[in-house]
C-alpha cells in the first residue's frame, strides 16, 4: 500500500501523506475534534484511503456505501454520527430527526440502532445543551472502547476452543474456515471471529485460516486475507464454493464467523453464504461457532425470518473491482444485458450453530443459554 490518499466523501480527492491513528483502528476522531476519520474499506488492500466524515450525511453515506462495514463498526460509526449530529444541529428535535435518519442507513446490523440510541438516549437525554458535544464525544469513545474490549474478551473465551482442537492435531495447524470479514476492520480492534485466531497465534498455537473470498464485495479476499497477512497468520484464499469440499476432505477443524444480527433465540444473520457453510459443517461434523459482542444480539426478535435482509445494488454482483497495472479497475463479468440480484445476508438457523463466543464466555445456540449469560437483557 504505497498509495496513500485522503479524500472527503463528498469532495474531490486530495492526495496527501498517510494519515493513521497511533494504533491502527478503522475509525477515530482527528485531533481537532472536528472530523471523524475512517479507512475507506472499499479500496483495500490495494489503496489506503482515509475519508473524512463531517456531517450526518457523510456518516450515512460511509455506512450505506460501505466505506465502513461489519456490525460492531457500523454501530461505532453510528455513535460518531450522533456526535456529528450534535455538532451540526441546534435543537433537540433536529438531533432526534438526524439520528432517525442515521439509524436507517443499513437495515440488518442491529448494532446501528443500538449504538445510536445508546449515545442519544442513554448519554445525551439527561444533558443540557452546553455539555452535549463533549458528552456525545465521550459516549462514542466509550462505546468504541467497550467494543474493542468485548472483542479482546471474545479472543480470551474463544482461545480454549482452538487449544482443544490443537491438542488433537499433534503439532499440525488447526484449520479454521471463516466467511467475510469479522476482523478488526469490521470492529474496532481484534475483530470478533478473528479475535480467537489472534489469541491462538500469540500463544504460538499453529493455525491456518481458509478465507472465503465472500462475493460479491470480496471482503474475505480483500480484508480478512490482508489482516491475517499483516499479522503473519498463515491463510489461504478460497472461493465461496470450496468450503464444503474442504470439510468433506477433513481439511477444516472449525468454522468461525461473525454476525450482523443474532436473535435472542440464536438465529444468525450474517453475510450471504454463511448458511451454506453451516449446512456443510453440520453434514461433516465440523463445529460451527459464531463470535459476537452482546451488542449484536437482537433481544426483541425471536425468529430469524423476521430479520430484514438488505438487497443491494445488483451491479455489486455484475462488476468486480481489482488491481491492474498500478490502478483500480472495475470489470463487467456477465453479459451487459443480464440482470443480477444481490441479497446481502442470509440467516443460519440456531439448530446449525454449535455455540456463540461472546465477551462473557461461550454459550449454546438457544434462548435459555443466551439469556443465562446475559440475564439483565430484556426483550
- Catalytically active residues are 260
3-state secondary structure of 268: strand
Taking the complex as a whole, the smallest distance from the CB of residue 315 to a copy of itself amounts, in Å, to 11
Nearer to a copy of itself, 143 or 344 (CB): 344
Taking the complex as a whole, the smallest distance from the CB of residue 301 to a copy of itself amounts, in Å, to 16
Nearer to a copy of itself, 148 or 352 (CB): 352
Q: Which residues of 306-342 are buried (b: 16+ CB within 10 A; e: fewer)?
A: ebebbebeeebbbbeeeeeeeeeeeeeeeeeeeeeeb
Quick one: which of 76, 74, 82, 125 has its CA closest to 100? 82
- Residues 295, 296, 302, 306, Cα dihedral to 10°: 130
Residue 291 is classified by DSSP as E
Tracing cell 471474545 back to the chain, one arrives at 154
Q: How far is CA 206 from the centre of its chain?
A: 25
The count of other CB atoms within 10 Å of the CB of residue 54 is: 17
Backbone angles phi, psi at 294, to 5 degrees: -65, -20
Nearer to a copy of itself, 12 or 130 (CB): 12
**Is the distance from CB of 224 to CB of 194 less than 8 angstroms?**
yes
Taking the complex as a whole, the smallest distance from the CB of residue 376 to a copy of itself amounts, in Å, to 32
Taking the complex as a whole, the smallest distance from the CB of residue 223 to a copy of itself amounts, in Å, to 9
Please give the residue ranges that form the binding site for a copy of itself (CB under 8 A).
Answer: 10, 45-46, 210-211, 213-216, 218, 221-222, 225-226, 228-229, 235-246, 248, 271-273, 275-277, 279-280, 283, 305, 309, 317-324, 329-343, 345-347
Strands 327-332 and 319-324: antiparallel
Quick one: which of 214, 140, 368, 49 has its CA closest to 62? 49
Taking the complex as a whole, the smallest distance from the CB of residue 100 to a copy of itself amounts, in Å, to 29
Please give the Cα distance from 79 to 303 (Å, whole number): 27
Nearer to a copy of itself, 172 or 372 (CB): 172
Nearer to a copy of itself, 16 or 239 (CB): 239
- Phi/psi class of residue 252: alpha, beta or left (left: φ > 0; alpha: ψ in -120 to 50)? beta
Nearer to a copy of itself, 131 or 229 (CB): 229
Please give the Cα distance from 73 to 111 (Å, whole number): 8
The count of other CB atoms within 10 Å of the CB of residue 164 is: 12
Backbone angles phi, psi at 73, to 5 degrees: -70, -35
Strands 355-358 and 268-271: unpaired
Nearer to a copy of itself, 134 or 239 (CB): 239
The residues that bridge with 277 in the sheet, in sequence order, are none
Taking the complex as a whole, the smallest distance from the CB of residue 246 to a copy of itself amounts, in Å, to 8
Taking the complex as a whole, the smallest distance from the CB of residue 329 to a copy of itself amounts, in Å, to 5
Amino acid at each position: 500500500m504505497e498509495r496513500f490518499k485522503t479524500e472527503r466523501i463528498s469532495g474531490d480527492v486530495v492526495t496527501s501523506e498517510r494519515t493513521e491513528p497511533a494504533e491502527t483502528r478503522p475509525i477515530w476522531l482527528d485531533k481537532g475534534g472536528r472530523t471523524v476519520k475512517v479507512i475507506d474499506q472499499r479500496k483495500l488492500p490495494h489503496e489506503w484511503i482515509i475519508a473524512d466524515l463531517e456531517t450526518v450525511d457523510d456518516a450515512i453515506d460511509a455506512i450505506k456505501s460501505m466505506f465502513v462495514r461489519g456490525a460492531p463498526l457500523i454501530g461505532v460509526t453510528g455513535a460518531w454520527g450522533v456526535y456529528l449530529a450534535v455538532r451540526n444541529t441546534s435543537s433537540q428535535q433536529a438531533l432526534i430527526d438526524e439520528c432517525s435518519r442515521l439509524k436507517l442507513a443499513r437495515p440488518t446490523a442491529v448494532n446501528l440502532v443500538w449504538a445510536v440510541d445508546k449515545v442519544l438516549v442513554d448519554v445525551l437525554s439527561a444533558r443540557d445543551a452546553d455539555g452535549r458535544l463533549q458528552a456525545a464525544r465521550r459516549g462514542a469513545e466509550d462505546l468504541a472502547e467497550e467494543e474493542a474490549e468485548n472483542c479482546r474478551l471474545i479472543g480470551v473465551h474463544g482461545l480454549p476452543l482452538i487449544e482443544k482442537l490443537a491438542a488433537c492435531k499433534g503439532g499440525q495447524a488447526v484449520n479454521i474456515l471463516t466467511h467475510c470479514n469479522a476482523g478488526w476492520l469490521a470492529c474496532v480492534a481484534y475483530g470478533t471471529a478473528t479475535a480467537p485466531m489472534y489469541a491462538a497465534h500469540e500463544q504460538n498455537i499453529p493455525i491456518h485460516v481458509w478465507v472465503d473470498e465472500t462475493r460479491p464485495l470480496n471482503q474475505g479476499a480483500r480484508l480478512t486475507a490482508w489482516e491475517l497477512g499483516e499479522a503473519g497468520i498463515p491463510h489461504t484464499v478460497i472461493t465461496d464454493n470450496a468450503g464444503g469440499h474442504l470439510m468433506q476432505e477433513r481439511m477444516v477443524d472449525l468454522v468461525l464467523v461473525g454476525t450482523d444480527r443474532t436473535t435472542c433465540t440464536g438465529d444468525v444473520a450474517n453475510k450471504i453464504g454463511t448458511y451454506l457453510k453451516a449446512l456443510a459443517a453440520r453434514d461433516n461434523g465440523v463445529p460451527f461457532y459464531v463470535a459476537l459482542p452482546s451488542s449484536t444480539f437482537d433481544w426483541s426478535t425471536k425468529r430469524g425470518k423476521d430479520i430484514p435482509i438488505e438487497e443491494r445494488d445488483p451491479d455489486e454482483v455484475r462488476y468486480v473491482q481489482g488491481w491492474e497495472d498500478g490502478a483500480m479497475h472495475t470489470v463487467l463479468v456477465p453479459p451487459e444485458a443480464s440482470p443480477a440480484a444481490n441479497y446481502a445476508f442470509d440467516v443460519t438457523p440456531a439448530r446449525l450453530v454449535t455455540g456463540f463466543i461472546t465477551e462473557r464466555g461461550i454459550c449454546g445456540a438457544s434462548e435459555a443459554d443466551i439469556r443465562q449469560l446475559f440475564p439483565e437483557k430484556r426483550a
